[in-house]
Every structure is written in structure tokens, then in C-alpha cells.
Structure 1
């Protein structure tokens, strides 16, 4: 569907839903990554003018990602928990409007690109003062969403309702199944999975996990954090999982000495998280989930390569992501060695 046709269909549909004439005065495509399509919309109606983002699937989402309905519902939960995130505006579950389900959310200022977040001079002052504390405190607020606070039973199940006793074993079993589904062998990943089975830590509490909390999924400008984005991989799990994902080497964009997202230090992030949450961060658990995160990303990048290689969803971005698998395998094994030597 071309952008003009998309504009006409959305205008017509929102006019019907909102019971007043709606006109889209500007629409353009935003970067949405390998799986998502995002469009910026300036909307005029009698009651208000809005700058919104329309978010929909590109046509080949990863199997582990939430549907647009569930992603929207999670965004509502997180927004209501006080997390700085775009206001959820409207959900459309039907495919008949534009060909796929979609939702609308507030359009916020800022940029999310890794190079901007980690290196741009415009953010120098914010990076040195409040970037770490703002992200840590917002992540702690996100983790206040627990299974008991989710009233919709269907959504609970979609977020993979788990217990502290079975979560890690189930996560490893899911990774083994994903690995088995790949057409080629990955012995390094097998080695890491075996290590994780025998070194699993306990979990203090099951909370909502963002699932992709990293540089690239929050919007910033010189005024500070504008909003946390992209809840398509949200699920119930261990709070340390999100902290570890942010610390992964792959999300530092070349600034390897800044272990938190390429812009901060672990001890500072842990301290700020603890101030908001009242819960102590366990460095061993962060390291364990960092190993798990690298294994997940190794498998995920191999899956994206397979989408390209199989012809199901050809694209140079998918092919290039697939080349990262070996890097994640190496990093996971390096982290295991580091932990073993520290004992």
C-alpha cells in the first residue's frame, strides 16, 4: 500500500470511529527496524489537532513478538505505572482497514539512534548528569507492573505467566526449541545453554520485563529522556533481565568502556535503580542474564538471517543482522569465562 492510499484509509476510518471529520495534513514513514513500520501523522479534527505515530507490522514479525493489540495493552499498563512513554491513543485490531492491525500513540520529540545517544555533543551535559538516573528510575517504575496488577486474563497468558521456580528453566527450554528449529548447528550456543542450566540463580519476584530495553528504544534530546518505546517483546520475568540487556556489549555502539548502553557505568545505574525500586541489584544475576541475552540475540539474529535465506522475507537488513550471530556466541562464552575465573 502506498502512503497516499494509507492516508485515505486512515482518514476515513478515524472519521468513522471518532464521529467527526478527520484530516491528515502530513504523513511520512519513520524508521521501524526489521519487523515494524511506523508512520508520523499530523491529524486535524474539529475537537483537536494531534501529532501521532501509527505503528504496525511490516509483515514478518519475529515469533516471540506480541501482537499489536497486546503491545498496545502493555503500553497502557506501563503508561499508567508512571513510566515516561508515548501516550497510547487508539487501537485497531481489524486487518480490513490497512491490511494489518495497528495502533496510534503520541508522537514525541527526540532521537533514538545509537550514535546520537552515545556520542552526539548535544547530549553531553545530559549524558553526564541525568541520563543514567532517568532511565534507571523509569525502568524501576516499569517493573512495578506485576501479574497481580494485570486484570485481563488473556493478556496475562500472552505475557507468558510464569513462576519464580519455573521461569529460567522454561526460558532455556524455549531457547533450545528455537535453536532446534534453525537449519544449521550452533555448538557454541549449546555449550552456553548447558552452562546456564547448571548455574541458574534464584529470582526475587516476577515482574513485567520490557524485553528490549536498550539504546535505540528510548527517545532523547538535549532536554532529556522523552520516552521509552517498543514493548513488542514484553513478558513476565526477572528484573535483572532488562538491566542485563541494556548492558550488553552489542548496545554500546563502540563505547565499550561505558557498559550501560554506551553512555553510563553499571554502579551508577544499579544505585539509581535501587533508589527508586528499594530493591538491591545483584551483579551475578545481571551477568547471568547478560549471558542469556547474548544467547537470545545470537538465536534471534540467526532467525532473521533464515527469514532472508529462505526467501520468506528477503532484505539486506535481515541478512546483515544474521552475520552478528558469531559475535554474540563469542561474547556469551567470554562472559562465562569471566564469571568462572572470578570464583
Structure 2
């Protein structure tokens, strides 16, 4: 996939916009939208805080609320199976098929000087997870209905989408793991499980959204108004969408409601089937739950590589790279039921006590605390919008480094990972599960101590 270097340079120029460049961006948008027959001044331009991969800019053209969606760089897009033109095409196909999704009104070209992306109509409501999760349980049925309509789309109209075959997908995950160092034993355990549980191919591939979850749906007054973020769309098994939104990480603390954080899985599956989706298959659901957990763990590790390579030097990228530990914990919670009872009941190895700070000069962790406190008391009151959100990311990053200095042992162990992948070591191996549990707790406590499942795992494992 090739892209015009001018577009990449434009994105780099506008990645951290000041007042003058915001005005330039508005003028460029006005020119581009005129090409699509939309005339009027661009006002109220602001970058939205969400989106781990793509930029989203909300603005008004005349009286119409619109959203610019674009990539952080051409390098970031390189190697992706679906480019942004393909994403715009599948959104149009979805809208034509009755799926609630935003209307694409303009695809950017190099002459626009705006980067790589497209402009779409802004949907009513908000994608804020807290708003969605405070909605009535009926929202789950609406999302299930939208999912069923996506899976009912004519695949012939989406023949540009990549195809995900299960066995090939597992092989690709293994290749990603090796490229990332191949040294995280818990991810290796997930890969070994996937290799042993690949389901048969589906008789008919359907359009799969690939990122259908709370946070990627627009909600207004407790009702679904649209499905966002189609960059991971592909052809494959619809159960992948069912499972993905049920991952712990996408339930934002609703640990008791596995069905999207809104209901239980049985109710969600029944709503999906009632809306025209296929019958629920528990084994396929579990496969995709494990698959996408491994996938996101590797995706987090890839964020660090992307930052290091220069593809995206945003602060958010390096912080997200440390969220792999969340998925490692979730993998153990998903897979531990396969271990013998004696291993599930085995006591954990003792945790290493943190070092006691010396008196006198400030330690490195204390200096980081001082910086975080200064940011909170002096800088935060002066910021709003995207900058205030980025400040929260920065303070989170300082906390990660502080805890890393204090107590985080390396989660990497290549010999153990190799043994797990070779199936010479597994959940039946005496002491392995207890060792991996302790590793997961220690790493996550340093990386993301507020992750909701951490407290649950501690209660289950440390007091077994």
C-alpha cells in the first residue's frame, strides 16, 4: 500500500495544532467540502479525545455537524489490511443495508492537504462508555440487532474486505508474538490454547465489524444511534463480533455483566438470534473470546513498536503499550478452568516486598510524584478538551514509570514461553498456573493498577 508523502507531511504538521493551524485546517476543510457540494464556514473545530488508532475532529459546516476521521500517518497505515478508502466503502455499504452508521460525505484526496481519511455526518448522542453503560438493558438488544444486520450484509458488496480464516488467523498471531520477542509466557499459553481449539471454518463468511463494543457505538437517551470505527471490518465468523464486545476490557468495570457490560451473554445471544443472527455456539464464542484477548495483548505490544519506529510518537501510544498486562490477566481468568483442580487451588508464590525508600535526597519515584502533583495542581486548571485528556494520559504514564522503578519485575521469560508453545509445559504442569498468576498480578499492579479485574483476580487467587 502506497500513500502520497505530502499527505503524511500534512498529518505530521497538524498532529499538535495551535490556534493558527486550527484556522488553516478549517480553511482546508471548507475547500474540500465545497468539492462535495457542501458550502459554509467551518466552525467549532475540535479534536475528540477517543480513538486509540485514528484521529477524529468534530466541527460544523454551516449548520451541519460533521466529523473528520483520519490516520495519524501514512506509516501507521502501512501494512494494514484495510485502508481508509476501504473503510469508507464498507460504511457506505452498511448504511445502504440498513445498519445505523454515519453517512460518508467526502473522501480526502492529496490536493485537499488534509491527510488520509474522510468526512462523515456526526451522529446524535455520545460514544462515552459511561453514558452507554448507564443506559437501559434494552440497549444491548439494539446493539445485537445492529450486529445481526451487519452480518446479514451482502458479502459481494464488500468483496474488498480482507478475509479472516481461523487457522490462518492463529498463525498470524503466532508470527506477531514472535516478532514482539516471543517472551511473554501468558500470551504463549493463549496461543497454545488457540492452536488446540481451532473451530471448523464457517459455511458462509459474513461481514464482521471487528471492533463492535461499548465505546464504538453512539448512544442518545439510552438508544443506539449508530456504529462507529469500521477500520477492522473483514469477512469471517460473526461469533467474533459477539465475543469481542464481551471482553473484560470493553466492559469498563462491569464485571458482573459479560454481555457488553449491559446484560448476560445468554440474553445478548438470544437478542442477536431473534434479530436474524445465527444460533449461538458456546465453543465458538469462547474461541473468539480467547483469540481477541490474545490479539489485543499483541496489539498493545505493537503500540510500543509503533512509537519506537516513529510511526506514531504520541504519548497515548506508549501508555497503551503497557496495557498488555490487562489482557494477560484476562487470559488466565479465561483459561484457568482448564487446569486440574489441584493447580487451581495451589497457593501463589510469595510476592516480593517493594524496596524501602531511603531518607535524605529524593528518589526517582518521588521526583515523578512531584511532577504529577505539579501537573495536577498547576497545569490541569489551565487546560480543557483534548489537552486536559492528554494531561491525564501523561500523569498515567508517570505513574507507570514510578511503579516500574519501585517494584516491577520483567514479565518476559523466553524459555518458559517456548516450552508452553511446544506443549512440553502447560496448565497441568505443577506450579505453572500459580507462577503465572503471581506474574500477572505483579505486572498489572505496576502497569494498570486500576484495571477492574485486578481486584477480582486478587480476591480469587491470593485467598484460594
Q: Same fold, TM exceeding 0.5?
A: yes
Structure 1 distance, partners of 2:168, 2:338, is: 23
Cα distance in 1 for residues equivalent to 2:308 and 2:157: 42
Whether 2:97 is the aligned partner of 1:72: answer no
Q: Is 1:6 aligned to 2:25, yes or no?
A: yes
RMSD: 2.2
| Distance change (3 Å), C-alpha of 1:145 and 1:338 | farther
State the shift of 1:204 in Å: 4.2
Q: In structure 2, how many angstroms separate the alpha carbons of the residues matched to 1:75 and 1:340?
A: 43
Query: Where do residues 2-151 of structure 1 align in structure 2 (5 Å cutoff)?
Result: 2-18=21-37, 21-44=39-62, 49-59=63-73, 60-61=76-77, 63-64=79-80, 66-92=82-108, 94-119=109-134, 123=135, 127-128=136-137, 130-150=138-158
Corresponding residue of 1:191: 189
Counterpart secondary structure, 1:247? coil
Q: Highest CA radius of gyration, 1 or 2?
A: 2
- When residues 180 and 26 of structure 1 are mapped into structure 2, their CA distance, relative to the original with a 3 A threshold, is same
Greater helix share, 1 or 2?
2
- The secondary structure found in structure 1 opposite 2:190 is helix
Q: CA deviation at 1:265?
A: 1.2
Could you report, residue by residue, the CA deviation over 1:157-206 in whole angstroms, capped at 9, with x for unpaired residues? 4x2236xxxx1111011112222222462232223222212211122421
- CA distance, structure 2, for counterparts of residue 309 and residue 16 of structure 1: 38
Q: Secondary structure at the match of 2:101?
A: coil
CA contact (8 A) 1:12 1:22 kept: no
Query: Is the 2:104–2:120 Cα contact (8 Å) retained in structure 1?
Result: yes
SS at match of 1:109: coil
Q: Deviations over 1:74-123 (max 9, x none)?
A: 1011111111111222222x23313412211111121212222224xxx3
Equivalent position SS for 2:236: strand
CA offset at residue 326 of structure 1?
Answer: 2.1
- Bigger mean CA deviation after superposition, 212-221 or 316-325: 316-325
Give the Cα–Cα distance (whole angstroms) in 1 for the partners of residues 171 and 68 of structure 2.
35
Q: Which runs of 5+ in 2 are unaligned?
A: 1-13, 15-20, 342-464
- Quote the Cα distance in structure 1 between the aligned partners of 2:41 and 2:152: 39
Write the distance in 2 (CA, Å) between the matches of 1:285 and 1:303: 26
Bigger mean CA offset, 232-241 vs 98-107:
98-107
After superposition, the Cα gap between the structure-2 partners of 1:316 and 1:101, relative to the gap in structure 1 and judged at 3 Å, is closer
Shift in Å, 1:12: 1.9
Q: Deviation digits for residues 309-332 of structure 1, max 9, x if unmatched?
A: 455433332222122212212322
Question: Aligned with 2:58: secondary structure?
Answer: strand
Q: 1:14 to 1:282 in 2, by over 3 A?
A: same
Superposition TM-score, scaled by structure 2 size? 0.64
- Mapped to 1, the partners of 2:56 and 2:185 lie a distance apart of 37
| Contact kept? 1:36, 1:61, Cα under 8 Å | no
Give the CA deviation at 1:335.
1.6
What TM-score does the superposition give when structure 1 sets the normalisation length? 0.86
User: In the alignment, does 2:313 pair up with 1:314?
Assistant: yes
TM-aligned CA deviation for residue 297 of structure 1: 0.3
How many angstroms apart in 1 are the aligned matches of 2:113 and 2:36? 15
Give the distance between the partners of 1:21 and 1:277, measured in 2 at CA.
41
Distance change (3 Å), C-alpha of 1:29 and 1:274: same
* Distance in 2, Cα, partners of 1:340 & 1:140: 35
Which region of structure 1 is more displaced relative to structure 2, 198-207 or 74-83?
198-207
Q: Distance in 1 between matches of 2:315 and 2:210?
A: 25
State the Cα distance separating 1:256 from its structure 2 match: 0.1
Structure 1, gaps ≥5 residues long: 151-155
Q: More strand by proportion, 1 or 2? A: 1
